[in-house]
A and B are shown apart, each in its own frame.
Chain A
């Protein structure tokens, strides 16, 4: 089973709200990733967790806060977002860092 699940599928939030995105995989993968994808663009890497530790932060604003509670779960906490943060947020996982990655279906985020 090569499934990565993400919840919620859609999220609308105001600029003062706090919300979280959730990602889960049960493939035993030890690397997990957050990407941001704007319309008609390729995904942009935000964060990489390797063996539950943050290994890469691509200079992402602090209003995005990742968390990896265990090897199967990855969260992205959102606070005080801007309308330009509206995008598709994709989670991915791989057996080890940057081995072939498997993506989830994404969360479509709209910031109003």
Chain B
């Protein structure tokens, strides 16, 4: 079956630090990969996506590259802000499973 593994949180960084949140996956078929962000008290927002190997998704300074050889989709940002504090979910979809599979989420806390 499909699964997504994310690094344990919380991740605590100072403002302007470099961010990496690791995400690896196991999937049958050729998954599409997503990062969602959930700010406190809110729903999930689609942050970025990639639908095939070597695709790079990017949005709001965040980037992630679909690496088929390492089955990874790590989220990166060069300089985080306090406003980036949130929970980040890695997710995948394959047609065979017919549902989104989420990772457990990684809480990011950015301090001044």
Contact = CB atoms under 8 A, between A and B. Distances in A.
Interface of A: 4, 6, 40-43, 45, 48, 56, 58, 90, 92, 97-98, 100-106
Interface of B: 34, 36, 42-46, 49, 89, 93, 95, 98-100, 102-105
B43 A97 contact: no
Contacts of A43: 44, 102
6 contacts: A6-B43, A40-B105, A42-B89, A42-B103, A100-B34, A103-B44
A31 to B, nearest CB: 11
Contact of B100 (A6, A40, A101): A101
B11 to A, nearest CB: 15
Contact of B99 (A6, A41, A98, A104): A98
B34 A42 contact: no
Contacts of B36: 103
A102 B49 CA distance: 12
B99 A106 contact: no
Contact of A45 (B43, B95, B99, B103): B99
Given A98-B93, A103-B44, A105-B43, A42 B105 contact: yes
Most B CB atoms within 10 A — which of A40, A58, A100, A102? A100
Contacts of A104: 43
A92 B105 CA distance: 18
Given A42-B104, A45-B100, A103-B43, 19 more contacts: A42-B105, A43-B44, A43-B102, A45-B99, A48-B99, A56-B98, A58-B99, A90-B43, A92-B44, A97-B98, A98-B93, A98-B98, A100-B34, A100-B46, A101-B100, A103-B44, A103-B46, A105-B43, A106-B43
